[in-house]
Structure 1
Amino acid sequence: MTREARTEDYTRAVLRVPDLALTLRPRPAGQVSGTFPFDAPVHVVTAHNPGAERPGPAENAARQARLEAELDARGVRHWRSVAGGEDGSHAEEGALVAGLDDVAACALGAAWGQDAVFRWSSTAWTVLACDSSPSVDLGWEIGSAP
């Protein structure tokens, strides 16, 4: 899968955060619906499927556990998240992380081999590239988790 195709997958991903009972769906840029529940932007980082690699469920779970242990060791507040297709056909666990700026979030994503991380703010749902590729701003709609 090409870098461009992977970025397009990011733009269609629905985010579920069970502990916060919320589901975030991407919308066209500029369209925001719902109440942003944080004081500052948050990021979503995963250790699953780095770049073009697809290591399989056991390795992805082990990588994600190491990422979450790293966040715990650094004292970074985070919640388990799942991002993927609306229909559930593809899903990757991740962490919704509070307290990082874009540079730190991208550095963390890059350290885990990711093309991008998500940034969620009151005004946009952004696919924030971890390299020199362009980022993509989208809108968002928030609802209750199913």
Structure 2
Amino acid sequence: ADGNYEVTLMTKATVTWEGEVSWKPPAIYKSSCEINVEYFPFDEQSCLMKFGSWTYNGAQVDLRHMLQSSGTNLVDKGIDLSDFYMSVEWDILEVPAARNEEYYPCCTEPYTDVTFNITMRRKTLFYTVNLIIPCVGITFLTVLVFYLPSDSGEK
């Protein structure tokens, strides 16, 4: 991740009568993921983004996804993609979110986090037209040259 999280626009927090606090600052998150290019350009990639507190435990800050129903820790559509600008290189297949609790030896309370698993598929048209078709064409022409007679001037 970038590590330089900075709120550029100050927004107010919303407090409900139950004491729940929601703060939604606009932000851009940068992250890097390990990629597997074994099936390039016909590949799918999966990237995890984990949000949690290292300072406050689960008793002090109980992180939950706003669409999480009781009895489950998984949300199928973890990110609202209605304002997402379609990428020319990737299709987003799914973005489930999961709430996790981790106990550490130092503490009795759990530390909670919400992890988003972003699964993307590469759009292959660009690579097919500009990489695969020319390589196949050159390979075909190279093999075809050996079918010409050796005394032919067309070689």
Q: TM-score range by the shorter chain?
A: under 0.3
Name the structure where helix makes up a greater proportion of residues: 1
Larger radius of gyration: 2
Name the structure where strand makes up a greater proportion of residues: 1
Q: TM-score when scaled to structure 1?
A: 0.24
Highest RCO, 1 vs 2 (Cα 8 Å, sep ≥ 6): 1
Q: TM-score when scaled to structure 2?
A: 0.23
